[in-house]
Homo-oligomer: A and B are copies of this chain.
Amino acid sequence: MIGKLIAKIKKTEAPIVVGLDPMLGFIPERIRQGAFQDLGETLEGAAEAVYRFNEELVEALCDVIPAVKPQIAMYEQFGVPGVAAFKRTVDLCHAKGLLVIGDVKRGDIGSTSAAYAVGHLGRVGVGGKSYAPFDEDFATVNPYLGSDGVKPFAEVCKENNKGIFVLVKTSNPSSGEFQDQPVSGKPLYELVGEKVNEWAQDAPDPEAEGYSEIGAVVGATYPEMGKRLRKIMPKSYILVPGYGAQGGRGKDLVHFFNEDGLGAIVNSSRGIIAACKQEAYASFGEDHFAEAARAAVFDMKKDIAEALGW
């Protein structure tokens, strides 16, 4: 699957993923009120508003980006109808040719991790039939439980041609509390990075120019650490959150990439989907939020391309 992602990044010339993390406050009045009129001020109504918001975004962006990253928490907050809107969003994105990175940060042990992996990336058997329940292309995985938590995902990836991104160094201010702790002369995140590299060796994608189905998450807000982790995990794609609203800029991203110009994909969520709320894109107006998002994607592409010297 990482090979497919690389092909799409090349085609769109955009090492960019857009985070579909809609909060109700981002959604224009006309969409919210329309959904509430149809389904009431209910969880179903809220989930429908989220889905309609995504529909306009996906329509406006599907030809200029390779992938989206829906954050499942933003859907789970609306309960079962929210989770159904997550699944509808995955299907919609696939129909529009976008790859989907499920930002689910799951992680458990043994058969439980396997159940998450099957649910999000694999197929589950029911009697004589089998189904792909959520059917994302990639998922994010939390490593705190060690290999027992990650390997079941790696197995499911192998069987289903899917990929994962393991949290190594997250973009938030307090990520250092545990991740930066020095262990045997290096920070914990480097040890996690070494493990990711080990898991990555076992999961090559033959169509991915040497890259593995096992990638990593490293925040744009920590460029020096990204530089070091880039070397520790040469075969792993790095999913880079923290660009834009969290403070990361194009120049911070240079060392997340390999010399082949590949190896990283940069996420922006609010910076794109709520672009119309920024001064630079305010002239689009709330009703044209999707066009504002498209303009913000072009600016982000330019910022990254300039930083990389493309």
Contact = CB atoms under 8 A, between A and B. Distances in A.
Q: Which of A41, A118, A146, A176 has the most CB of B within 10 A?
A: A146
A44 B147 CA distance: 32
Q: Among the interface residues A82, A115, A184, which one has the most CB atoms of the partner chain B within 10 A?
A: A115
Interface string A79-103: 1101110010000000000000000
Given A177-B195, A182-B184, A195-B177, A129 B41 contact: yes
A191 B178 contact: yes
Given A112-B71, A119-B79, A146 B126 contact: no
A145 B174 contact: yes
28 contacts: A36-B127, A41-B129, A42-B129, A43-B126, A45-B126, A71-B112, A73-B113, A74-B112, A74-B115, A76-B116, A76-B134, A77-B116, A77-B119, A78-B126, A79-B134, A80-B80, A105-B108, A109-B172, A110-B172, A144-B170, A144-B178, A145-B175, A146-B176, A146-B179, A148-B172, A178-B192, A181-B188, A183-B188
A292 to B, nearest CB: 21
A173 to B, nearest CB: 6
A87 B84 CA distance: 13
A142 interface: yes
Chain A, interface size: which category? Answer: 35 or more
B119 A73 contact: yes
Interface in A36-94: 36, 41-43, 45-46, 71, 73-74, 76-80, 82-84, 87
B175 A76 contact: no
Chain copies in complex: 2
A33 B55 CA distance: 39
A74 to B, nearest CB: 5
Contacts of A24: 125-126
Interface string A12-53: 000000000101100000001000100001110110000000
A133 interface: yes
Given A71-B115, A178-B191, 9 more contacts: A24-B126, A73-B116, A73-B119, A76-B119, A77-B133, A79-B131, A107-B142, A142-B144, A178-B188
A245 to B, nearest CB: 10
Contacts of A105: 106-108, 142
A111 B192 contact: no
A175 B145 CA distance: 5
A73 B112 contact: yes
A295 interface: no
Contacts of A42: 126, 129, 131
Contacts of A178: 143-144, 146, 188, 191-192
A179 B144 CA distance: 7
Contacts of A32: 127
